[in-house]
Structure 1
Amino acid sequence: MKEIIIQENENNQRLDRFLKKYLNDAPTSFIYKMLRKKRIKLNSKKADPKDKIVTGDTIQLYLSEETIDSFKVKNTYVPQKKSKLNIVYEDGNLVLIHKEAGVLSQSSKKGETSLVDSFISYLYDKGEYDPSSERVFKPAICNRLDRNTIGLVIAAKNYNTLKGINEAIRLKNIDKYYKCLVKDELKSNLNLEDYIVKNKNENKSYVTNEKNEESKKIQTNVNILKSSSKFSLVEVELITGKSHQIRAHLSYINHPVVGDYKYGDEKVNKLFRQKFGLKHQYLFAYKLRFNNMPKGLEYLNGKEFVDNMDEKFINIENALFY
């Protein structure tokens, strides 16, 4: 019998989810079967997959060492080459990082480097992450930005922070604001409500005003900051956070983001590439505001964090509106 004592970074999660990470090569059906047969217990009692585990709880595995080893892929973390993090804010629980254009928030396949890889290496170098002492937790980012969108990304140093931030995002307790340059003049502020469908094969989202089985409701607030007859600089408040929401929604109302090669205007993009060297969308996740944060993160309530404007964006803004 092997006994596991739950640590701080494993606190307050469902038993089955912990076991899926601990026995990370075991079929889910095997884990549920062992729970039913009481070969896996919680605090020496029969356990339900949905039971919450907390720091200090014990899990008993009535399995052979050979079985446990066969279902447990060891953490073989090796620090990677990484770019230097541009840190906007840091405390004991989280880091707010400025993500550059062209950087993946999280890698989707082997061999790719990403912001989360750089973040993990950063904590490893500081001595704040020891993979050998962590059984299931790995530092992670909480909000993703598209590869060519720049701005603030929230990265969690521990499990409770990761869980708390993700819950706050789900409950819309973290206000997210973007600046973007769009084609043509906007006449008034907009509170947009429509539906979005993601085509995974094309990696592209489509907006419609009709609800269907595959669509999800989206809300996007657009406030004018500066405008001319040809372009508008706007602040976008993201109420819902679906894939490519801002880019697809603004394109749907015929005000595509400048520099957006998936949803934008080809002629406008070419003009800005030639005149300003802009090779990606003018979309900047520039501000975060925290509200009603959970226990342990209350100190963030009412705090607002603003990222520094990209120099290329400043030059474009000055050329268009001054």
Structure 2
Amino acid sequence: MEYKITIPQKFQNITINNLLEEKWLVPRKQRHFLRTKKNILVNNQNVNWNDKVMEGDVVTIKFDLEDFPQTKITYGQKEFVDILFEDEHIIIVNKPEGMKTHPNNPNEIALLNHVSAYLNHPAYVVHRLDQETSGAILFAKNQFILPILSQMLEKRQIHRTYQALSQGNFNKTIFTVNKPIGRDRHDKKKQIVSSSGKKAITNVKIIKNFSQVSLVECKLETGRTHQIRVHLAYESHPLIGDKVYGKLKANRLMLHAKELSFNHPLTEQKIQVFAPSKTFDDTLQIFS
């Protein structure tokens, strides 16, 4: 693999070492390969890692096949891939409800398989959406960018905004649910608010109260399994169509990842995508 990256203005006058470690968040193992094999060039010239790069410099990064473990995946159908954004390193797609993000066994076909079929090589999951949830989801197109994006996700540099329809009306317009979430010991399919669980923070904004339901916007600071569903159920406002945590039925789970935004780790380009959902909008009309 070989990648050519032009240094943006924000990164000028920084050493190669700091560029890779602090700006591009390249993991130590990959930095070691690049250093020992002399597989990084600036303007097609070998460089010392203490040399500085300037705006407009072209950095070439090379990886050998043995630098990454080989990945095998069964290809799905590329026709199922609804692309919201794509470049050399990342692809953001609009996941339909009812489709798994990734397979749990070799015989399953999920969105990951379809995206890999579109790319004609394995894609890599950066974050997940529940099977019942639709919307914007980010995949890495190579194993160079994957750990960088994973670190960004961990550092809350990838921002996700969801729209949801919940049962009942709220007596507040903006609030935060800061309650740890863990697995329900009595039901493996469920998560619960638990003092022994992992930190989970959901910021909630009420968009509109209808007669019996409310349209809300949720922004995640963490990414626990079923986080929005568990937190709103804990607040006594379970999601419409949630067969696990709620009671009010609908054609689908009323949870949709409508927006995904972040600064591209290599170019500082602002990436912001919005994912439409006809099924969410149609079901919202029924309840509103």
Q: Tell me the residue number matched to 1:190.
A: 175
Q: Tell me the residue number matched to 1:52.
A: 32
Q: Tell me the residue number matched to 2:129.
A: 145
Match status 1:175 vs 2:159: yes
Instruction: Decide whether aligned partners of structure 1 residues 298 and 185 sit closer, same or farther in structure 2, where only a CA change above 3 A counts.
Output: same
Inter-partner Cα distance in structure 2 for 1:151 and 1:78: 23
Inter-partner Cα distance in structure 1 for 2:71 and 2:148: 25
Inter-partner Cα distance in structure 2 for 1:86 and 1:111: 23
Normalising to structure 1: TM-score of the pair?
Answer: 0.66
Q: Tell me the residue number matched to 1:113.
A: 109
Normalising to structure 2: TM-score of the pair?
Answer: 0.73
Match status 1:159 vs 2:159: no
Structure number with the higher helix fraction is 1
1:254 shift after superposition: 0.5
Match status 1:305 vs 2:273: yes
Relative contact order, higher structure (CA 8 A, sep 6+) = 2
Inter-partner Cα distance in structure 1 for 2:27 and 2:193: 35
On the 8 A contact 1:8/1:55 being kept in 2, the answer is no
1:178 shift after superposition: 0.3
Alignment counterpart, residue 207 of structure 1, candidates 188, 193, 197: 193
On the 8 A contact 1:150/1:283 being kept in 2, the answer is yes
Amino acid at match of 2:34: V
Amino acid at match of 1:202: K
On the 8 A contact 1:82/1:113 being kept in 2, the answer is no
Q: Deviations over 1:156-187 (max 9, x none)?
A: 11223212211111100111100000000112
On the 8 A contact 1:13/1:54 being kept in 2, the answer is no
> Greater Rg, structure 1 or structure 2?
1
After superposition, the CA RMSD in angstroms is 2.6
Q: Tell me the residue number matched to 2:224.
A: 242
Amino acid at match of 2:165: L
Instruction: Decide whether aligned partners of structure 1 residues 264 and 153 sit closer, same or farther in structure 2, where only a CA change above 3 A counts.
Output: same
**Structure 1 runs not aligned, ≥5 long:** 1-6, 19-50, 59-72, 130-137, 273-277
Amino acid at match of 1:192: V
On the 8 A contact 1:161/1:297 being kept in 2, the answer is no
Inter-partner Cα distance in structure 1 for 2:136 and 2:129: 8
**Structure 2 runs not aligned, ≥5 long:** 4-19, 21-25, 39-68
On the 8 A contact 1:198/1:243 being kept in 2, the answer is no
Amino acid at match of 2:189: N
On the 8 A contact 1:13/1:53 being kept in 2, the answer is no
Q: Tell me the residue number matched to 2:82.
A: 86
Inter-partner Cα distance in structure 2 for 1:260 and 1:281: 5
Inter-partner Cα distance in structure 1 for 2:243 and 2:287: 21
Instruction: Decide whether aligned partners of structure 1 residues 107 and 75 sit closer, same or farther in structure 2, where only a CA change above 3 A counts.
Output: closer
Instruction: Decide whether aligned partners of structure 1 residues 190 and 123 sit closer, same or farther in structure 2, where only a CA change above 3 A counts.
Output: same
Inter-partner Cα distance in structure 2 for 1:77 and 1:240: 28
Inter-partner Cα distance in structure 2 for 1:155 and 1:207: 29
Amino acid at match of 1:246: I
1:75 shift after superposition: 6.2
1:53 shift after superposition: 2.7
Instruction: Decide whether aligned partners of structure 1 residues 315 and 93 sit closer, same or farther in structure 2, where only a CA change above 3 A counts.
Output: same
